[in-house]
Amino acid sequence: MYEIRIHSRGGQGGVTAARLLALAAFRDGKYATACPFYGAERRGAPVVSFVRIDDAPIKIYSQIRNPDMVVVLDASVMETVDVLQGLKKGGSVLVNSEHPHEFPGFVSHHVDLTDIALAKNLAIAGTPIVNTPFLGAAAKLGIVSFESAKQAIREMFSDERNVQVAEAAYKEMVI
């Protein structure tokens, strides 16, 4: 089972990112679950979402304490939250950032999802929506296929800009 913890801020699309990733995995013929963890937080407060992907049915629906991968959709979350807590040895970290971040003992990736979203004016109430470009980055990392990522996006959103930003993130993501 591959387990992913997604750190974001309320209103950024982190919960939807988890749902999109699970849907794309399902389209790839996998079993997947997505669940958020938040209370009465407001827009901008830290939010955590969890995704499990497996070849067999998943019978766990809870927080992920020891993920294989951590995704940080807003780098400022790292100022107040220990995003690496419980990350498996040698696990991966993907940060939405124009600059690389070093995490000793972990595989580190970065791509500027915010800039990609802003380039297509993909924002709600001024907040860039980074969930659909994240799906492009996840596909580049091989978590889901790129075709399934695009299919999942089209199932949830009618605005084709969402697919365009996923394509841009897929192209910009350096492995």
pLDDT score, position 114: 96
One-letter identity of residue 91: G
- C-alpha 144/C-alpha 136 separation (Å) is 9
- Among residues 96, 131, 91, the alpha carbon closest in space to that of 112 is found at 96
pLDDT score, position 36: 87
Please determine, looking at this structure, whether the domain spanning 2-172 carries the CATH number 3.40.190.10. Answer: no
Domain ranges of the chain: 2-172
Average pLDDT per run of 10 along the chain, which is 175 residues long?
95 92 98 84 81 97 95 96 96 97 96 96 90 98 98 97 98 90
Instruction: Give backbone dihedrals phi and psi of 46, rounded to 5 degrees, phi first.
Output: -60, 140
pLDDT score, position 12: 84
pLDDT score, position 42: 67
The total of other beta-carbon atoms located within 10 Å of residue 118's CB is 15
pLDDT score, position 64: 96
pLDDT score, position 19: 97
